[in-house]
Amino acid sequence: MNKKVKQEIKTEETDTKELTINSLESLGPYILEQDNAKNFVYVSDVPQLCKDEPCMLGVDEAGRGPVLGPMVYGIAFCPLSKKDILKQLGFADSKQLTEEKRDQIFDEMNRKDYAVEALGWAVEAISPNVISMNMLRRTKHSLNEVSMDSAIGLINAAIEAGVNIAEVYVDTVGPPEKYQAKLKAIFPKFKITVAKKADSTYPIVSAASIAAKVTRDHALKVWKFRERPNEEENSFGSGYPGDPTTKQFLGEIDLVFGFPRLVRFSWSTASNALEKKAYDMEFEEEPDAKASQKATYGSERLSKYFSASKNENRKRHEYFRDRCLEHVAEI
């Protein structure tokens, strides 16, 4: 059964490509076509059984901690009556499986007839560039908020695709009570369970975990460097700060431009490396405030009338003076 992209551009950070993933072999080429500076969402075809019967839906992520590469959120869904399929495919916590085993399960869930007739999935790959910009912008958007937005967005994508959701199971690293209360407020009709280590407790969450983990693994394998066109494939390791290969990669800093977009430059591991090696940047001071009030052709700027010098003693408006009105701090 073919898989089609059913995605909508929700922000300028999301890119859309009409391609399909119907096996492990087709995953890499699909990812390679995406802009790795932006997020992308992929939603599989929804089996008819998932529209006709009440379904369970699992949510999990991969790549939350690494300093390199995207964080990927995944969901998986299947009818409550087809729980045995999850056991038959061998779903378990993706972190406890070898990479080869994860790839094998992912391939089978997209190829085997009994799987594609009852199981669907979706992922959102959140670019390291987007993660860093969210965490460093003036109004900061934390990684927890980015994660929650992605999970909610994928659940909504499944609803829009016609999945008949009855139960939702979510793996979390934070306090499950607060997360569960928020999801329950957004999706009041669903039975919602948020728990730590849910990927090792609920097979449907394990399925979501494998979709997310395999997508992230292959996103790193096919990563294209705009900044370093001659970079060798996977010269950066796993992306975790403790990996010697990753440490070596982070030591190769462009002294002016810093790291390529693969690096989450908001991570302390990356920012500390920049502070030690990269050049300090100095920016010219803004021109004198009063001088900036003058337009180039000699007239005054309109903005002058909405700002005042801190040292200027302004008189109170005549309306208040004529009526002998004063500020009162205490009555």
**Reduced DSSP (H G I as helix, E B as strand, rest coil) percent helix, strand, coil of the chain, to 5:** 40, 15, 45
Phi-psi category of 45—alpha, beta or left, where left has phi over 0 and alpha has psi -120 to 50?
beta
Alpha carbon separation from 277 to 14, 244, 268, 280, 306 (Å, rounded): 33, 18, 14, 9, 43
Q: Is 280 annotated for ligand binding?
A: no
Q: Is 60 annotated for ligand binding?
A: yes
Alpha carbon separation from 54 to 75, 80, 156, 204, 206 (Å, rounded): 16, 6, 16, 14, 19
DSSP state of 282: -
b/e string for 69-108 if b means 16 or more Cβ within 10 A? bbbbbbbbbbbeebeebbeebebbbbeebeeeebbbbbbb
Residue 39 token pair: 């997020």
Q: Is 113 annotated for ligand binding?
A: no
Asked if 206 contacts 200 with a C-beta cutoff of 8 angstroms, the reply is yes
Asked if 63 contacts 216 with a C-beta cutoff of 8 angstroms, the reply is yes
Residues annotated within a binding site for a divalent metal cation = 60-61, 171
Residues annotated within a binding site = 60-61, 171
